[in-house]
Amino acid sequence: MAVKAAQVTAKVREELGSRANKRLRDAGLLPGVVYGHKEAVVPVTLTRKEVAGHLNHGAHVFDLMMGDKTEKVLLKEIQYDHLGTNLMHVDFARVSLDEKVKVTVSLELKGTPKGSEDGGVLTQVIKELHVECLVTEIPEIIRYNVSEMALNDVLHLRQLDLPKGVKLLQDGELIAATVREVLEVVEAPAEGTTAEPEVIGKKVEEGEAGAEAGAKGAAAGGKAAPAKGGDAKAEKK
């Protein structure tokens, strides 16, 4: 199903610059520009909530209404804030209905692969497709049913059933999804960590060495050297 043009109202933006744009955003508005077809670049102001609503429904093409004039435009670039949540700026390019354009469309995988019964887990590698088609034929979303994918099956982009008139711009051999068994990973001890038995063994050896030295001293008729950490009162006696 092709995306229908979404209607949005815009006004020519008189004030330019970062401060003016901040004032617009604080008022719930969205700065943008319209360019292309060898015509002048026009700075515009739109309602942010209206544009965001259309974007959430996958809109690519817009009927931009400015006064008594309506232009068919294609969304070319979106800028968000550093959190990636709030719209900051949009760029529109003028287009004709008989013009081919390059756009990005979401890839949605539907169903449960039969390989899941054998322990397989579906992993989607590519979530967006770069395609070329007429403005009037831009698909809203491209779906693929993965129910026939068995364990260890691989889905390549060339296997996708694209709508008529839509051309894939990516390498068809790229992997879009896999169904693989997930193996349990056993974590190894951290590098440099000493196991407890070795530490205990070392302490025992040190104790044995001290005892042995004391025994030798006693055998020679001398006083046995006090062990490390021995009783301080015993030494005074």
Query: What count of other Cβ atoms lies within 10 Å of the Cβ of residue 138?
Result: 24
In this prediction, residue 228 carries a pLDDT of 46
Q: What number is the average pLDDT over the span 175-185?
A: 87
Question: Over pLDDT 90: what percentage of the chain?
Answer: 56
Answer yes or no: are the C-beta atoms of 9 and 47 closer than 8 Å.
yes
Task: Tell me the two tokens of residue 32.
Answer: 């943008």
Give the burial class of 84: count Cβ atoms within 10 A of its Cβ; 0-12 exposed, 13-18 middle, 19 or more buried. exposed
Alpha helices in the chain (DSSP H): 18-26, 48-56, 196-219, 232-236
Q: Given a cut of 60, is residue 225 above it in pLDDT?
A: no
Q: Output the 3-class SS for 181-232.
A: ECCCCCCCCCCCCCCHHHHHHHHHHHHHHHHHHHHHHHHCCCCCCCCCCCCH
Per-residue confidence band for 202, with pLDDT thresholds at 50, 70 and 90: very low
Please report where in the chains the tokens 């302490």 appear, as a residue: 203
Per-residue confidence band for 231, with pLDDT thresholds at 50, 70 and 90: very low
Highest mean pLDDT: which range of 155-169, 191-205, 211-225: 155-169
Q: What number is the average pLDDT over the span 122-133?
A: 96
Distance CA 124, CA 235 (A): 74
Task: Tell me the two tokens of residue 131.
Answer: 């395609």
User: Which CATH number is correct for 103-181, 1.10.10.10, 3.30.70.360, 3.40.30.160, 2.170.120.20?
Assistant: 2.170.120.20
The helix/strand/coil state of 19 is helix
Domain ranges in the chain with CATH number 2.170.120.20: 103-181
Lowest model confidence (mean pLDDT) among 122-126, 189-193, 194-198: 194-198
Say which CATH topology domain 6-95 has. Answer: Ribosomal Protein L25; Chain P (2.40.240)
Q: Given a cut of 50, is residue 216 above it in pLDDT?
A: no
Q: Given a cut of 70, is residue 22 above it in pLDDT?
A: yes
Give the burial class of 120: count Cβ atoms within 10 A of its Cβ; 0-12 exposed, 13-18 middle, 19 or more buried. buried
Q: What number is the average pLDDT over the span 115-141?
A: 94
Domain ranges in the chain with CATH number 2.40.240.10: 6-95
- Of 72 and 224, the structure prediction assigns the larger pLDDT to 72
CA distances from 104 to 2, 145, 155 (A): 13, 20, 19
Answer yes or no: are the C-beta atoms of 181 and 151 closer than 8 Å.
yes
Answer yes or no: are the C-beta atoms of 157 and 168 closer than 8 Å.
yes
42-77 per-position pLDDT tens digit: 999 999 999 998 888 878 899 999 988 899 999 988
Give the burial class of 164: count Cβ atoms within 10 A of its Cβ; 0-12 exposed, 13-18 middle, 19 or more buried. exposed
Task: Tell me the two tokens of residue 174.
Answer: 């790229």
Enclosing H/E stretch for 155: strand 154-156
